[in-house]
Amino acid sequence: MTIAGFKTSAVAAGIKSGGVLDLALIYSDRPATAAAVFTKNTFIAAPLVVSKKHLEENGHRVRAILVNSGNANAATGEAGIRAACVCVEALAAQIGYGANEILVSSTGVIGRPLPVDAIKASIPRLVSALSPGNLEMLARGIMTTDTVPKIATAEIGSARIAGVAKGAGMIHPDMATMLSFIITDAEIPHRELQESLEYAVEQSFNSISVDGDTSTNDMVVVLANGASGIRLPADEFRAKLTDLCIELATAIVRDGEGASKFVELIIEGAPSEKAARTIGRGIARSPLVKTAIYGADPNWGRIVGAIGNSGIPLKSDHVDIYIGGVPISDTTREKARQKLSQKEVQIRVVLDSGSASARVWTCDFTEGYIRINADYTT
């Protein structure tokens, strides 16, 4: 799919070994309105510092996003910030825009100096490779430990939206990070775009868990350049953006390293949506629940323990739990076990403390996860 006014590209700049794509570019032929959410981790990597500054300086108008994989430019101090700026300035000179019209993002090993010379040397090639509809190269250029590129596209009336993501940085946060970039040719004012993005991220990227870790480089950006000339109703755009983000976020969970099962948790009967999500995230990050799912054990005691551990006060301690639609009880244990043996598992938790609900996605916890993360050496 092509998104009017946008081009993308990726090249092998030698940041990663093996000649794989590791430098990517998103380019808009006109200023695009930008909205962004950044990691909540206390330690914020250099590219996020620079991108936040540029967004503020330039009133959330963005022309391009430069992304590298293979090096996170995190825990690199002032030198890291200068390195990010040097790369952005080289790109600005090449495309003839101001440096503060460009965002920058990095993902890869923490604590190593960014290979600035390699990046600068590759920028002319990167710019000349720009073309419309090049989403797969973009998605590949930002991959680290991902095994598949993650792309989602949709039409919103006559406008279009597309996004790429990489992750999960939670699995290898020294191979930081969870990144996602979304572009649309719809016309969206900044405040509306930012509100829609925050809503969508809460429902998607903030509703997944592989192992509960955040990273220094997490970043989601949406650019709306209005090239389609279409001004969408706010709620219609928000709904499409949310669906797109959920598609990308669940693709990250499905690619969770060591994972053998994809798990959808539905929490109902909660006092608020936020409470439902907090409870869901608590279940999603419980190693005991995740190992039970791996072992196909309908262990509701662990789920109840995780609900109680989430810190959300509940009016009633009544809980009904359904696995693949089967209500858990002593007599349904075998049926529930069969449902848990499938590759896709749905667990529904029905509380008796309100009418709010939320969905959260996670994967199981396997020996594979331990092996990958124990054997991996810095």
Taking CB under 8 A as the binding criterion, the range among 121-129, 141-149, 210-218, 270-278 that sits at the site for a second copy is 210-218
Contacts of 222 (CB under 8 A, 6+ apart): 34, 35, 36, 163, 181, 182, 183, 184, 193, 196, 197, 241
Q: Please pick, from the candidates 205, 237, 294, 361, the single residue that binds a second copy as defined by CB under 8 A.
A: 294
Residue 185 contacts a second copy per CB under 8 A: no
Helix (H) or strand (E) holding 83: helix 77-95
Looking at the Cβ atoms of 31 and 308, the one nearer to a second copy is 308
* Cα 137 to Cα 217: distance, rounded to the nearest angstrom: 21
Interface positions, 10-49, toward a second copy (CB under 8 A): 40-43
Structure tokens that stand for 281 in this block: 């995230």
Query: Can 177 be counted among the known catalytic residues?
Result: yes
CB neighbour burial string for 103-117, b if at least 16 within 10 angstroms, e if fewer: bbbbbbbbebebbbe
Residue 75 contacts a second copy per CB under 8 A: yes
Residue 370 contacts a second copy per CB under 8 A: yes
Residue 209 contacts a second copy per CB under 8 A: no
- At its nearest, how many Å lie between a second copy and the CB of residue 350? 15
Residue 341 contacts a second copy per CB under 8 A: no
Residue 331 contacts a second copy per CB under 8 A: no
CB 64 within 8 A of CB 105: no
- What is the SS3 assignment for 363? strand
Structure tokens that stand for 374 in this block: 């124990």
Q: Please pick, from the candidates 292, 321, 345, 363, the single residue that binds a second copy as defined by CB under 8 A.
A: 292
Taking CB under 8 A as the binding criterion, the range among 4-12, 52-60, 153-161, 297-305 that sits at the site for a second copy is 297-305
Distance of CA 109 to the CA centre of its chain: 18
- Identity (one letter) of the amino acid at 303? I
Residue 53 contacts a second copy per CB under 8 A: no
CB 166 within 8 A of CB 140: no
Q: Could you give the count of Cα atoms lying within 13 Å of 283 in the half-sphere of its Cβ? A: 31
* Cα 4 to Cα 28: distance, rounded to the nearest angstrom: 9
First to last CA, the chain: 38
Q: Please pick, from the candidates 36, 67, 176, 358, the single residue that binds a second copy as defined by CB under 8 A.
A: 176
Choosing from 33, 39, 107, 177, the catalytic residue is: 177
Taking CB under 8 A as the binding criterion, the range among 3-11, 116-124, 146-154, 366-374 that sits at the site for a second copy is 366-374
Count of residues near a second copy by CB under 8 A: 61
Looking at the Cβ atoms of 325 and 376, the one nearer to a second copy is 376
Q: Please pick, from the candidates 69, 134, 194, 215, the single residue that binds a second copy as defined by CB under 8 A.
A: 215
Active-site residues, by number, are 177
User: By the criterion CB under 8 A, which residues form the site for a second copy?
Assistant: 40-43, 74-75, 77, 109-111, 170-174, 176, 211-216, 285-288, 291-292, 294-295, 297-302, 304-314, 317, 333, 365-367, 369-371, 373-378
